[in-house]
Structure 1
Amino acid sequence: MLHFLALCLPIFAVVAIGYGASRRRMVSAEMVDSIGLFAFYVALPAMLFRLMAAQPLAESFEGVYFAGYLASCLVVFGGTMLVAMALGRRRPYAAALGAAAAMGNVGYLAPPLLLPILGPRVAGPVAMAIVAEVAVIIAIGSVLMTRAEAGQGLSTLLARVAGLARNPVILSVFAGAAMAATSLPVPDAIDRFLAFLGGAAGPTALFALGGTLARLHVGRNLVALAGAVSLTKIAVYPALVWLVLGPLLGLDRAWVAAGVLLAAMPTATNAFVLAQSNGTAADEVSAAVLLSTMLAAIAFPATAWLLALPVPP
């Protein structure tokens, strides 16, 4: 446990630095946003393309894994939403909580946390998690959160899908998979360029995450709700993924470990942006993002330890 804690704490320390810099106004909100945009739209696509293109497609894509992970994601999303509606919440509000429980920070946190533990083979699972938790949940959540007039839900869905189709992260995943399918090596000069640019993804993304968290808050009246959503995200979701990928589908231990660790990511800031843009449960999701990230500093290494993974050098 202490080995994994020592491995993970420096990564969360960069988040803390970004948080502190933003709180002390050493960097402005606009600067944090710009760093985040660079990380998500430039550095992260370079890293994902390079990792995906460097290994055979059969090693980075597993259809059964993707189906099991996506099914678990949808169960967590739908289950959280149904519980909220059973407690008297309206559909848009319940959908926002469902997104907070199902959308992990797989873009910013997963690569720097998982690469030291599982190595480059994690590129495929990360890519499939991005497709499941970002593309699918954003598309479904956008429709369910819309207080729609007739036909507005469909137009919202089409607009979100069109936006995702132009997302550099999604495009880099498919481009890297296509390159891997050709079995052609990436030219050395391009590979060095991608490695140099992609190397900036982790630090910049983590710093931007901390700066974004500094603008969020956990109101006293929201602690219980945020705690329930956070525990669903970092405990119930990983346990469900372990059950589905392991005992039910019988996948290789490496795939199971990757899926569980990805499911253990804290709630993504994208969930807050989605709730805010639809004008529903923004404060509640904001609290869940902040609280789940704080808890993940301990919960994630504990999850890696419970999986009995070999301690990385």
Structure 2
Amino acid sequence: MPPRRSPMLPGHTCLRARAAVSTSGGVIDIFLKTLPFFALIALGFAAVRARIFPQDATIYLTRFVFYFALSAMLFRFTASLSIADIWEPQTAGAYLFGCVIVYALATAVGMARRQGTEVTAVEAQCAVIGNTGFLGVPMLTLLLGPAAIAPILLILSIDLFIFSSLIVILITGSRDGRMSRGVLRTIGVGLLKNPMIVSMACGLSWSASGAPMPVPLDDFVTLLGNAATPGALFAIGASLASKSTERLSVAGWLSFCKLVLHPACVALGALVLFDVDTYDAGVIISAAALPVAGNVFMLAQHYGVAPQRVSASILISTLFSILTVSLVIGWVTML
């Protein structure tokens, strides 16, 4: 599965040699490569359970990663890319196709259980939004090579702009009975304040300017960005330590949607319906196999809509993704 594009990312010139996953190693080899990522998650989980790392500190660690370390990593990545490198209509169409199919299915199942619009919207969000920022960016870039960052950023943009906005519209619209300018203003302000969006916009602007990256700035964002991977994975595990396992039947269904149906539908879109480059298809299928994102829980908790259900879905999907992600990546590397 040779990559179609290979942007020269600062500090990642040796990744291709390290990250290229050979088909000869099979799923076992890929599992061993993903194991350190999940081991860091387990370490965060164990640290909180053993009371070595206080649960309250998880909030501040997550903020550090979200506002600083991950933002530095995304800025460094996008500073060597253009919008044309990221925006691929066929790739975006294939990913959106898979999301819409699974979102509609989860919505139909939720409505069949006679749930309200708010709860159904949260469940549908669990079914299609993966942990792309904290887990997908570092892990898939390492496993599939630096060229994976462009399609990963495309997926991240779609999740942030389309689906994060959609859940706010559905919940607030259901409560108010109509759409208002206030809702649109809230969505717009939220997007403008999102550090991932801001850092990507700044990186793309820098790239468009054609200005060389000063060595001190490059060293600074590299040093800060390198903290994103261990910090994010430890924070994921620490946050899981407080997750409940209520509504296991629903959480199991939503985890199945996210880990199995979502990558399967994205694969259908990428490999059959849309003319997607083979490498990009492998990346977006792998990204679709990621477990439920933590920001879904943040939204559910903020609006007071089924947070325990989302919590259980994150816990179960993350646990089973240790195996399913390896299987999916093993399959896409043989395309």
Say if 2:267 is the partner of 1:256.
no
Q: Secondary structure at the match of 1:104?
A: coil
Say if 2:200 is the partner of 1:173.
yes
Alpha-carbon contact 1:106-1:130 (below 8 Å) kept? yes
Q: Secondary structure at the match of 2:176?
A: coil
Instruction: Give the counterpart of 2:227 among 195, 200, 221.
Output: 200
Q: CA RMSD in A?
A: 1.8
Instruction: Give the counterpart of 1:303 among 322, 328, 332.
Output: 328
* Aligned-pair CA distance for 1:178: 2.5
* Aligned-pair CA distance for 1:115: 1.4
What is the aligned partner in structure 1 of residue 256 from structure 2? 231
Q: Distance in 2 between matches of 1:241 and 1:40?
A: 27
Structure 1 248/182 Cα, relative in aligned 2: closer, same or farther at 3 Å?
farther
* Aligned-pair CA distance for 1:56: 4.9
What is the aligned partner in structure 2 of residue 186 from structure 1? 213
What is the aligned partner in structure 1 of residue 17 from structure 2? none
TM-score by length of 1: 0.93
Structure 1 153/105 Cα, relative in aligned 2: closer, same or farther at 3 Å?
farther
Structure 1 116/84 Cα, relative in aligned 2: closer, same or farther at 3 Å?
same
Q: Secondary structure at the match of 1:232?
A: helix
Structure 1 198/65 Cα, relative in aligned 2: closer, same or farther at 3 Å?
same
* Aligned-pair CA distance for 1:229: 0.4
What is the aligned partner in structure 2 of residue 133 from structure 1? 159
TM-score by length of 2: 0.87
1:199-253 CA distances to partner (integer Å, 9 max, x unpaired)?
000000111111111110113xx22211110010011111111111222112111
1:243-292 CA distances to partner (integer Å, 9 max, x unpaired)?
11222112111110110011111001111111121222211111101000
Q: Secondary structure at the match of 1:25?
A: coil
What is the aligned partner in structure 1 of residue 92 from structure 2? 66
Alpha-carbon contact 1:104-1:266 (below 8 Å) kept? yes
* Aligned-pair CA distance for 1:41: 0.9
Q: Distance in 2 between matches of 1:74 and 1:159?
A: 24
Say if 2:123 is the partner of 1:97.
yes
Alpha-carbon contact 1:11-1:112 (below 8 Å) kept? no
The percentage of counterpart residues that share the same residue type is: 31
Q: Distance in 1 between matches of 2:99 and 2:248?
A: 24
In structure 1, give the amino acid aligned to 2:114.
G
Alpha-carbon contact 1:275-1:281 (below 8 Å) kept? yes
Alpha-carbon contact 1:142-1:157 (below 8 Å) kept? no
* Aligned-pair CA distance for 1:155: 2.5
In structure 1, give the amino acid aligned to 2:106.
T
1:116-173 CA distances to partner (integer Å, 9 max, x unpaired)?
1222222222222122223321211012123422456652343133112111111111
Q: Distance in 1 between matches of 2:128 and 2:211?
A: 36
In structure 2, give the amino acid aligned to 1:155.
G
Say if 2:69 is the partner of 1:43.
yes
What is the aligned partner in structure 2 of residue 214 from structure 1? 241
Q: Distance in 1 between matches of 2:161 and 2:242?
A: 25
Q: Secondary structure at the match of 1:107?
A: helix
| Equivalences, count | 308
Alpha-carbon contact 1:54-1:186 (below 8 Å) kept? no
Q: Secondary structure at the match of 1:148?
A: helix
